[in-house]
Amino acid sequence: MALRLVSARMGPFLRQRTLAAAAALAQQRGFAAAASDDEKLTVTVPVPFKTHKIDPPSQEVETSKAELLGFFTDMYKMRRMEIAADGLYKSKFIRGFCHLYDGQEAVCVGMEAALNYDDAIITAYRDHCTHLGRGGTVLEVMAELMGHRDGCSQGKGGSMHMYNKQHNFYGGNGIVGAQVPLGVGVAFGQKYNKLPNVTVAMYGDGAANQGQLFEALNIAALWNLPCLFTCENNHYGMGTAEWRSAKSPAYYARGDYVPGIKVDGMDALAVKQAFKFGKEYALQNGPLMLEMDTYRYHGHSMSDPGSTYRTRDEISGIRQERDPIERIRKLILSLELATAADLKAIEKESKREVDEAVDAAKSSPQPEEKLLYDHIHSGTPANFQIYGADRQHVTVKL
Amino acid sequence: MQRGTAALLRCARFLGELQPRRISSLETARCFSGAAMQAQPSAPEGYDGTAELKRMNLFTAVNDALHIALDTDPNSYIFGEDVSFGGVFRCTTGLAERFGRHRVFNTPLCEQGIIGFGIGLAAMGSRAIAEIQFADYIFPAFDQIVNEAAKCRYRSGNQFDCGGLTIRTPYGAVGHGGHYHSQSPEAFFTHVPGLKVVVPRSPSKAKGLLLASIRDRNPTVFFEPKGLYRMAVEEVPIGDYETELGRAEVLREGSDVTVVGWGAQMLVLERACDAVEKEGVSCELIDLQTLLPWDVDTVAASVSKTGRLVISHEAPITSGFGAEIAAKIAERSFLKLEAPVARVCGLDTPFPLVFEPFYLPTESKVADAIMHTVSF
Ligand SMILES: Cc1ncc(C[n+]2csc(CCOP(=O)(O)OP(=O)(O)O)c2C)c(N)n1
Ligand SMILES: [Mg+2]
């Protein structure tokens, strides 16, 4: 219990490591004196919050050197991991359905900076980085992608089904929109048990058109449940641009009677501010909608080149002007919190970590065969049968 | 003693298929690896032998049928997620360009809404051809299909119907689809009076059966074997023809055992029949084609002749449609049966991400079941 509290207070993932790494770097370079790691800094986020039926949070966001270096490290690692997954897919180590998150990293790290692991998260299938955000390792993700035993779901879930029970990650879900009502149920559990925590139910702009989202929203509002309905608006649902499928693409305002905030989802600090505000609000008042204006660089999944329904200019324009990692890099450099060389060193370290995880994931064995018929029910149903090649002789009766 | 050895051999064969291997090679364990399949050469019904033939794969045949459907009835519409861009399997390519975006249109991502909308449109007398992107995503629309589409005619005393509704949806294993891109949910729908359920096995059948489904005056769920979209290639008659619903097709005649399946599984069954025929077993292979209503007479007549029945499908065995066939044939052909009816199906597990070949009713599992049935 004590341990758990500590870990909760530590907050976002790998903070410990990041801090240590940053401190070590700082010492090496001899700029530790400039700003201590935890000294408060205030940064004004450039894009104003747009709101629906609520006053916006302040654009002045408190942060620290440690936090900014943490953002940089974590987002860079996420990016490397997704690029590695892309390569592994092309070399057929990963098969089937695989949806990459690169471009959207700021949502993940900004959100985690305002939450702790006792808060719950549930999302859809674009979940690799969410798993890292919840404190998972690159190895757990990579091995899961390959269907190997060291995966976070023992290799049984694959790309779309990362889970971390200990840190209240209720997983990646394959059916578009289905996760949102589940999140409302989790939020009810939190409220009923008087926990000081919220649930983040994440969904895409495409999923925003599923009816069950509105059923869930009504329930959450009716019972004032601490649920943050978080729309990661990357502007496309597969090949469909938001305006083709939504009468109103103002997703933050589509809760009608539920207030909402539109956030620059490419700015980790803005995301953090919105979630910090959102958590406090939801604990006191009930649900809130948060729309994250973000972008995915890759296609929808590995079979989508991502360039038939949008222009290459659009993609490269966003990379140049709004990239979440470059934004933090610039901020760190302009505040002189680290040098370009320091950041390069962090990048190098991330690459090494990802490469090592990839190797380890490759050599991780396939799940044990008995896992095929395990975990279907609790306990073993009396009459459950698996038959082999010869139905009479190789029947496994459980 | 002999029997023990045979069983061992069969085990060995089975295990060989299931050696742990890289995911990349899992697909080789799938039934339709290798060269493109050549489907049965039997002439499609309604085909008078004079029409020109064209080599097509299955998705092109579906596309061809949809062109004809829209061309022959101006009051017909195609809609679904991304269909005006061609859909994820390219089945609707070129239709929006040809017939306009008011007849071929994208819907938002909302399966329940898509099917409910289709029922209303069909109730106006239109032909509403809806696409559900994967059969795994049909469940949000299950209520509309079961409670609205299927009962519309009955509960209104035949004042209204939605017979013009056809729901196309790709189903089945592809080698690496995992839990939500592989399922075969046909049996859920065969449990619903008022629906028709159709599953083609090849390009020419896909075309003929799809046209028949679209024009049939009952709401129809049309499952397309997505593993065969590109893989299955054959000569398909160009022009308009329909393959009668509710009729099975005998693909090969035989005297020792009747083997029944549908859709992509037919290919596995064909190979299993080839394998056991080398050991002197004569199989009568039947493609059911329509599951609701299914052609009991053809299967019963065959079983009366062979005395033995093996049924195979990819869906889990328990409450799969094979159970219905087994029960019906036990009733109809009880005195003719010389062995218990055998079912070779998917396991009673969720469709697995890893171990797909363990789950699937592969060629050797089927061959072994046939051998066991004939030597019962
Ligand atoms: C019920 C259901 N319908 C369709 C799909 C197929 N599908 C998977 S993702 C997707 C697009 C979702 O887009 P969005 O919600 O914007 O999320 P994003 O992929 O952009 O993260 C579709 C149509 C599905 N998984 N589940
Ligand atoms: Mg989207």
**CA–CA distance, B308 with B39 (Å, rounded to integer):** 25
Residue with tokens 């109809």: B332
pLDDT value at residue A31: 43
Task: Dump pLDDT digits (tens) for A77-126.
Answer: 999 999 999 999 999 999 999 999 999 999 999 999 999 999 999 999 99
Task: Dump pLDDT digits (tens) for A226-273.
Answer: 999 999 999 999 999 999 999 999 999 999 999 999 999 999 999 999
Give the up-direction half-sphere exposure of residue A295: CA atoms within 13 A in the CB hemisphere.
19
Inspect the interface and report whether the beta carbons of B355 and A211 lie closer than 8 Å: no
The ligand 1 site (C-beta within 6 Å) comprises A 126, 174-176, 204-207, 234, 236-238, 300; B 81, 109, 111, 133, 137, 140
Interface test with chain A among B88, B142, B180, by most A beta carbons within 10 Å: B180
Average pLDDT, chain A: 90
* More confident position, B25 or B354: B354
Inspect the interface and report whether the beta carbons of A372 and B355 lie closer than 8 Å: yes
pLDDT value at residue A71: 98
Q: Is the pLDDT of residue B242 over 70?
A: yes
Comparing CB atoms, the residue among A161, A239, A386 nearest residue B85 is A239
Residue to substitute in A123, A238, A294, A296 for testing ligand 1 pocket (most ligand atoms within 8 angstroms of CB): A238
Inspect the interface and report whether the beta carbons of B10 and A177 lie closer than 8 Å: no
What is the nearest CA distance from A149 to chain B, expressed in angstroms? Answer: 11
Of all residues in chain B, what percent carry a pLDDT higher than 90? 83
Indicate the domain borders of chain A: 2-363
pLDDT value at residue B29: 29
Q: How far is CA B227 from CA B58, B97, B171, B181, in A?
A: 10, 27, 8, 11
pLDDT bracket for residue B48 (50, 70, 90):
low
Closest residue to atom 5 of ligand 1, CA basis: A176
Structural domains of chain B sorted by starting position, each given as residue range(s) with its CATH number in brackets: 53-237 (3.40.50.970), 249-375 (3.40.50.920)
Among this protein's residues, is B176 annotated catalytic?
no
Task: Dump pLDDT digits (tens) for A29-86.
Answer: 434 445 688 899 999 999 999 999 999 999 999 999 999 999 999 999 999 999 999 9
The phi, psi pair for A232, rounded to 5°, reads -85, 95
CB-defined contacts A:B, below 8 A: 141
The residues that bridge with B56 in the sheet, in sequence order, are B234
pLDDT bracket for residue A377 (50, 70, 90):
confident
For residue A98, report the distance from its CA to the centre of ligand 2, in Å. 15
For residue A299, the one-letter residue type is G
Please state whether beta strands A120-122 and A199-204 pair in parallel, antiparallel, or not at all (unpaired). parallel
- A395 and B CB contact within 8 Å: no
Nearest bound ligand to CA B107?
1
Average pLDDT for residues B59-79, to the nearest whole number? 98
Comparing CB atoms, the residue among A147, A160, A392 nearest residue B354 is A147
The phi, psi pair for A105, rounded to 5°, reads -60, -30
* More confident position, B147 or B35: B147
Q: Give the CA-trace dihedral at A158, A162, A164, A165, to 10 degrees.
A: -80
The set of residues, in sequence order, having a beta carbon less than 8 Å from that of B133 and lying 6+ positions away, is B80, B81, B82, B87, B88, B169, B170
For residue A253, report the distance from its CA to the centre of ligand 1, in Å. 21
Q: Is the pLDDT of residue A5 over 70?
A: no
Residue with tokens 């659009």: A314
Q: Which tokens in the block code for residue B247?
A: 């009729």
Where would I find the H helices in chain B? Answer: 2-17, 23-26, 58-72, 95-99, 111-123, 142-143, 152-155, 186-190, 203-215, 265-277, 296-306, 321-332, 356-359, 363-374
Inspect the interface and report whether the beta carbons of B140 and A212 lie closer than 8 Å: yes
Q: How many CB atoms lie within 10 A of CB B102?
A: 8
Let me know: does A41 contact A331? Beta carbons within 8 Å: no
> Residue B338, exposed/middle/buried by CB under 10 A (0-12, 13-18, 19+)?
middle
pLDDT value at residue A398: 42
**CA–CA distance, B344 with B362 (Å, rounded to integer):** 9
Comparing CB atoms, the residue among B109, B178, B350 nearest residue A176 is B109
Minimum-distance ligand 1 atom for the alpha carbon of A205: 16
- A188 and B CB contact within 8 Å: no
Q: Which tokens in the block code for residue B142?
A: 């299950």
pTM over cut 0.95: no
Q: Is the pLDDT of residue B293 over 50?
A: yes
Q: What is the ipTM of this complex?
A: 0.89
Assess if CATH 3.40.50.300 describes domain A2-363.
no
Lowest mean pLDDT among A245-254, B26-35, B351-360: B26-35
Interface test with chain A among B353, B355, B374, B375, by most A beta carbons within 10 Å: B353
Minimum-distance ligand 1 atom for the alpha carbon of A176: 26
Inspect the interface and report whether the beta carbons of A92 and B23 lie closer than 8 Å: yes
